[in-house]
Amino acid sequence: MLILSRKQQESIQISNNVFVTVLEIRGTSVRIGIDAPREIPVLRTELLNRVVFPARQDSRSEANMKVPDNFRANQAWETEGDSDE
């Protein structure tokens, strides 16, 4: 795992076409923005574990698993909204 420090409005680039930017820092919460092509699924791990791997308990084992082809990225938002807190 690569660990980087970033300040607000600083970014990192992953590959040629994925950018992650720290948008806001509020106490212990960090808001990030992810700029990626639509064909690259961007999902929160805890939501992916609940929707795609509901029977699994150890989220670390899913970290290297491929998202199933029939999983639609927008299922995540249909199932649960994001919280600002």
DSSP, res 62: G
Backbone angles phi, psi at 80, to 5 degrees: -155, 135
With a cut of 70, say whether residue 4 has pLDDT above it.
yes
Closest by CA position to 52, among listed 62, 37, 42: 62
- Residue 61: φ, ψ to 5°: -70, -20
User: Which carries the bigger pLDDT value, residue 2 or residue 66?
Assistant: 2
Number of domains present in the structure of the chain: 2
Given this model, what pLDDT does residue 55 score? 63
Residues 20, 46 within the same domain: no
Q: Is the pLDDT of residue 50 over 70?
A: yes
pLDDT at 42: 87
Residue 17 covered by a domain: yes
Instruction: Tell me the residue range of the domain where 24 lies.
Output: 8-39
Instruction: Output the pLDDT for position 7.
Output: 95
Tell me: do 46 and 31 sit in the same domain. no
Give the span between the Cα atoms of 22 and 4, in whole angstroms.
Answer: 12
Q: Give the contacts of 81 (CB within 8 A, at least 6 positions apart).
A: none
Does 85 reside within a domain?
A: no
2 in any annotated domain: no
Tell me the per-residue pLDDT of 72-85, one tens digit each, with 9 for 90 and over. Answer: 554 444 444 444 44
For the segment 48-53, the average pLDDT, to the nearest whole number, is 75
> In this model, does residue 25 exceed pLDDT 90?
yes
Q: Is the pLDDT of residue 34 over 70?
A: yes
Determine, yes or no, domain membership for 32: yes
68 shares a domain with 48: yes
Are both 45 and 73 inside the same structural domain?
yes
26, part of any domain = yes
